Amino acid sequence: MQRITIKGLAKAAGVSVSTVDRILTGRLPVKRATVEHVLEIAEAMNFHATGVIRNRLRTEAPHCRIGLLLNASTRRTFLDMAERASDTAKGRHDIQARVITRHLSSPEPEATVAALLDLGQRCDVIACHCIDHPQVHAAVQDLDRRGIPVLPVISGLGCAATPGVVGSTENDLGRTAAWFMSRLAGPQGCIGLVNGGAFFRNQWAEEDGFRAFLKERDSPLTVLPALSSGECDIGAARAVTTLLGKAGSRLRGIFVVGGGLEGAVNALRDARRPDILVVGNELTAATRAMLKAGQVHVILEHPGLEIMDGAIAAIAEWATGAEDALDRKQEFPFRILLSENC
């Protein structure tokens, strides 16, 4: 393959040879927009000095320390999200970013506030997945007054300082879960809901969508009051055991709204209830194997990695001067996975 020359790159990018030379040598200034355009063309053409152009953008880009607050590191989903956020931030050329991640051992208000304030001491901006609670609101508003904005991810926060959110189409996800339940769980019986806790707004929307779908269609299925997993497998297993004790043979399906899908399946296995339809939204290597084995029937995969990409992109816009970048709402679609397409 013929090596792309500076002259060839300049022609393809619609700029002069001297402009490309200035970009590569750094001797004279070039507008950032021009450098970004030339970089895009260079990457497409596999130009040999693309790395030099990329580094030129990075060295002139603003520094940004990004705090990331997620649920427990014992859940593979949140480890993957943290890794994705770090890799995405490092790969950007419009900011020089470093991601500092904190994982919550449990979604309690006191621990959440402490983690937010700790990140506020070390970061310029924070992306967080946490509960919607008055104590959290107060901490977020305090950070905002100090010039440290907070961007909710996955689940929104109901306070004035956080109008934006990067998440998914949660109501649609809940309605889709109900669609599967209404067709696969049997004509009558009870459906159990296992959520991560009482204060996750995204899970409220999923539950609302689930219940609304069944109500609109006069479904004979009875939806039991939701039980909490505490966002962990042990808690989910305990919740499922409680559901089995209350509903017995009438229990026809379980929708695991939050974390703990593995724990829920393990509890059903121990109870020898393979007849119960299981729908969840957490995809890991373990839950994928359960899906293939027929222990989980449907996974409505939450787009955690795409949410991280969207959050880092919004933060980069904010760091480069777009003051309203963190006030926008971004929604990424979930994926429907069955045993045959996972």
As beta bridge partners, residue 305 has: none
pLDDT at 223: 97
Segment 326-340 mean pLDDT: 96
CATH architecture of the domain 63-167+304-332 equals 3-Layer(aba) Sandwich (3.40)
Query: Which one, of 177, 253, 236, lies nearest residue 211 by Cα?
Result: 177
> How high is the pLDDT of residue 28?
64
Nearest to 105 by CA among 130, 141, 86, 82: 130
Check residue 105 and give its pLDDT. Answer: 84
pLDDT confidence tier of residue 33, bands split at 50, 70 and 90: confident
Per-residue pLDDT, averaged over 258-277, amounts to: 96
The tokens describing 34, both together, are 């021009």
What is the distance between the alpha carbons of residues 188 and 284, in angstroms, rounded to a whole number?
A: 31
Predicted confidence band of residue 1 (pLDDT cuts 50, 70, 90)? low
Residue type at 153 in one-letter notation = V
Residue whose pair of structure tokens reads 């998440």 in the numeric block: 167
Q: Which two tokens stand for residue 39?
A: 């970089």
Q: Give 170-301's CATH code, choosing from 3.40.50.1820, 3.40.50.2300, 2.40.50.140, 1.10.1060.10.
A: 3.40.50.2300
How far is the C-alpha of 274 from the C-alpha of 293, rounded, in Å?
Answer: 11
Per-residue pLDDT for 57 more than 80? no
- Is a pLDDT exceeding 80 seen at residue 29? no
**Which amino acid is it at 216?**
E
* β-sheet bridge partners, residue 193: 255
> What is the percent of the chain with per-residue pLDDT over 90, rounded to a whole number?
74
Alpha helices in the chain (DSSP H): 6-13, 17-25, 32-45, 50-60, 76-91, 109-122, 134-145, 170-184, 201-216, 233-247, 261-270, 285-293, 304-319
User: Looking at the chain, which residues constitute the CATH 3.40.50.2300 domain(s)?
Assistant: 63-167+304-332, 170-301
Give the chain's largest Cα–Cα span.
78
Q: In 281-297, which positions are buried (b, 16+ CB within 10 angstroms) versus exposed (e)?
A: bbbbeebbebbeeebbb
pLDDT value for 141:
96
Q: What is the mean pLDDT of residues 85-89?
A: 97
Interatomic CA distance for residues 27 and 10, integer angstroms: 17
Residue 318: both structure tokens together: 């904010």
Using alpha carbons, list the distances in angstroms from residue 148 to 44, 137, 264, 265: 37, 14, 38, 41
Mean pLDDT of 50-61: 79
- The three-state (H, E, C) secondary structure of 110-146, written as one string: HHHHHHHHHHHHHCCEEEECCCCCHHHHHHHHHHHHC
Alpha-carbon distance of 223 to 246, in angstroms, equals 13
Contact 81, 155 (CB under 8 A): no
Q: What is the mean pLDDT of residues 149-168?
A: 96
pLDDT digits (tens, 9 = 90+) for 222-253: 999 999 999 999 999 999 999 999 999 999 99
Strand partners, 183: none
Of the candidates 242, 196, 245, 252, the residue with the CA atom closest to the CA atom of residue 220: 252
pLDDT band at 120 (very low <50, low <70, confident <90, very high): very high
Q: Are 230 and 196 in contact (CB under 8 A)?
A: yes
Half-sphere exposure of 62 (CA within 13 A, CB side): 11
- Rounded to whole angstroms, the Cα distance separating 170 from 332 reads 10
